Amino acid sequence: MGWNDWAHYQCGFTAQTILDNANALVKTGLAKHGYNTVTIDDCWMQKDRDAHGNLQADPQRFPHGVKAVADAVHALGLKFGIYEDSGYLTCGGFAGSGVPNGGGQDHFLQDARLFASWGVDYLKLDGCNLYVPNGSTKESVYRKAYAAQSAALKEVGRPIVFSESAPAYFQGTPGWYDVLTWVRDYGQLWREGTDVEIHDTKKPNASRFHSVLWNYAYNLPLGRFQQPGNWNDADFIIGGDSGMNLAESRSQMALWAMMSAPLILSSDLDKLSPHAIGVLSNDAIITIDQDPLGRMATLVRRSPKMDILLKPLSDGDYAVAVLNRSAATQKIDLRPADLGFPANADCSLDTQNLWTKSSPATVSTLQASIASHDTAIWRIHPASSCGRPTRSGAITLIAPGKHRESIEGYTVCLAAPGQVESCAGTPKEVWTITDSGALQSAGRCLTAANGHPAMQACGDTSAQHWKYTLVGNLKDANGGCLTAKANSLSIEPCGHNQRDQIWSLPN
């Protein structure tokens, strides 16, 4: 949790900008709620290194150097973060840490030692401008660079959180999933894709909520890559900034909390309204985000208007969130069975609305009227008679062809007739994953019958046992992969991270 300058200021900042926002974290009380790391992004350095090969701060932005800023941030009781790049130049064209263009010695260890001497607590390593020599693959070069930076940070004798941007440079390619399998070996959090939309000084009131929904769309299906100590980073919290109304700001906070995503603010903190600060400092929501179980929410159901999410918590409670993506107010009435609890159970829920912070009430259904672009969120404690919810919800696939940067254009749902379709939120799109790996919907199971998937009566048969891999393949007993062809399903030889074979299951 913390603050970064990029989404609001880009390169338009100075040391004073950083310190003003650091002071604002303390003044607004946000720091007391956990936002404790202040990070400088790109453009802080010069384009060239000094005679000893060290990075040099831009003297116009940092007349007293970076260490003076780090010391001032630490004096406020906060941590200090900095940006570099794994390539020979940063994305802004400044000196990078990576191998020079054409080959040579990298600067990962030298820069790590410099950062440690400045008191850096957090490093964001971007992925622009990596030199790829002949005979090497792009992915192998990225892996070597991030491994080198990880090793360098371990050598300098100062604990420094490592944020990796590598996956974002492979989004939409088969290599994306390869990178997502190895970043956990080197850092604590990573960006997977497109940046959230930046503040535009020429159009400050232009809506940015579509960008928030897009980052949510591609991040949510990646829960299988996340575990405590390794976090999918859906990018900055821009709630409260220009282009985000209060309902949209609430939605971003709730959705990021349901995904256990890092909460890194990126706005002009001095200009946040009291209402926005109230949203960002909501301890009940922050507690959901920071829950030590670290699980990402399951997509229970997705309709053209709403998403329903369920997240297990470490104390046996659950968080439930309902996102209204539509332009009109929507009413919701959720029974425990809709969340995966046994349908025949006499189930009551001790429920607290996390926005109103009202006293917990015992209810048999969750009911709400949700404004356009808003998200309702509750913490629920099921009665012992409820039993435990099954592992159930939507099974999604990245839509075939060139997708639009939207939830509707990105995701399709597996439906019980044995086909993929635009997500409609119907019962045939709700699946239960059994302990044996069976995929069950409406009392029938997806079966690899003679090499062709079909819905059949459930039984203890290997044809209904699917193995789910980290990459996202669903393999039958013969090692073939469940494949979406047009609107139908087939069993095909497993390709290399083939898009029509990558499924996202309930967590």
Report pLDDT digits (tens) over 229-266: 999 999 999 999 999 999 999 999 999 999 999 999 99
- Return the amino acid letter for 171: Q
177 neighbors 469 (Cβ within 8 angstroms): no
Does the pLDDT value for residue 110 go beyond 80? yes
DSSP assignments along 266-309, one per residue:
-S-GGG--HHHHHHHT-HHHHHHHT-TT-PPPEEEEE-SSEEEE
CATH class of 298-386: mainly beta
Residue 16 φ then ψ, to 5°: -70, -35
pLDDT of residue 408: 87
Does the pLDDT value for residue 64 go beyond 80? yes
Other residues' Cβ atoms within 10 Å of the Cβ of residue 186: 22
pLDDT of residue 403: 63
- For residue 343, name the pLDDT band (cuts at 50, 70, 90): confident
Tell me the mean pLDDT in the region 108-112: 98
Give the active site residue among 58, 71, 195, 268. 195
DSSP assignments along 351-399, one per residue:
EEETTTTPPPEEESSEEEEE-TT-EEEEEEEE-GGG----SEE--EEEP
Tell me the mean pLDDT in the region 473-480: 96
Q: For residues 490 and 408, what is the distance between their CA atoms, to the nearest angstrom?
A: 24
Tell me the mean pLDDT in the region 463-488: 94
CATH class of 2-289: alpha beta
- For residue 464, name the pLDDT band (cuts at 50, 70, 90): very high
pLDDT of residue 402: 61
- For residue 486, name the pLDDT band (cuts at 50, 70, 90): confident
- For residue 111, name the pLDDT band (cuts at 50, 70, 90): very high
- The pLDDT > 90 percentage for the chain reads 94
pLDDT of residue 471: 97
Q: In the numeric block, which tokens belong to residue 259?
A: 């995904």
157 neighbors 116 (Cβ within 8 angstroms): yes
- The pLDDT > 70 percentage for the chain reads 99
314 neighbors 360 (Cβ within 8 angstroms): no
Of residues 311, 333, 136, the one with CA closest to residue 226:
311
- For residue 359, name the pLDDT band (cuts at 50, 70, 90): confident
Q: For residues 264 and 266, what is the distance between their CA atoms, to the nearest angstrom?
A: 7
DSSP three-state, residue 102: coil
Q: For residues 98 and 89, what is the distance between their CA atoms, to the nearest angstrom?
A: 8
The radius of gyration of the chain's CA atoms, rounded to the nearest angstrom, is: 24
Does the pLDDT value for residue 505 go beyond 70? yes
Same fold, 2-289 and 392-504: no
CATH 2.60.120.260 fits 392-504, yes or no: no
Of residues 264, 122, 245, 275, the one with CA closest to residue 196:
264
Report pLDDT digits (tens) over 161-209: 999 999 999 999 999 999 999 999 999 999 999 999 999 999 999 999 9
Report pLDDT digits (tens) over 382-429: 999 999 999 999 999 998 876 668 898 899 999 998 899 999 999 999
Tell me the mean pLDDT in the region 442-450: 91
Is residue 126 part of the annotated active site? The answer reads yes
Cα angle at 62 between 58 and 63, to 5 degrees?
100
Tell me the mean pLDDT in the region 286-309: 97
pLDDT of residue 450: 80
Does the pLDDT value for residue 305 go beyond 90? yes
Is residue 195 part of the annotated active site? The answer reads yes
Higher pLDDT, 344 or 146: 146
Q: In the numeric block, which tokens belong to residue 122?
A: 């957090």
Does the pLDDT value for residue 269 go beyond 90? yes
Give the active site residue among 41, 111, 126, 178. 126
Domain boundaries, the chain: 2-289, 298-386, 392-504
> What is the torsion angle, in degrees rounded to the nearest 10, for the CA atoms of residue 99, residue 46, residue 113 and residue 141?
-20
Does the pLDDT value for residue 113 go beyond 80? yes
Does the pLDDT value for residue 210 go beyond 90? yes
- How confident is the prediction for the chain on average, in pLDDT? 96
pLDDT of residue 485: 85
- Order of strands across the sheet that contains 439-441: 392-393, 431-433, 439-441, 444-449, 452-457
Does the pLDDT value for residue 299 go beyond 70? yes
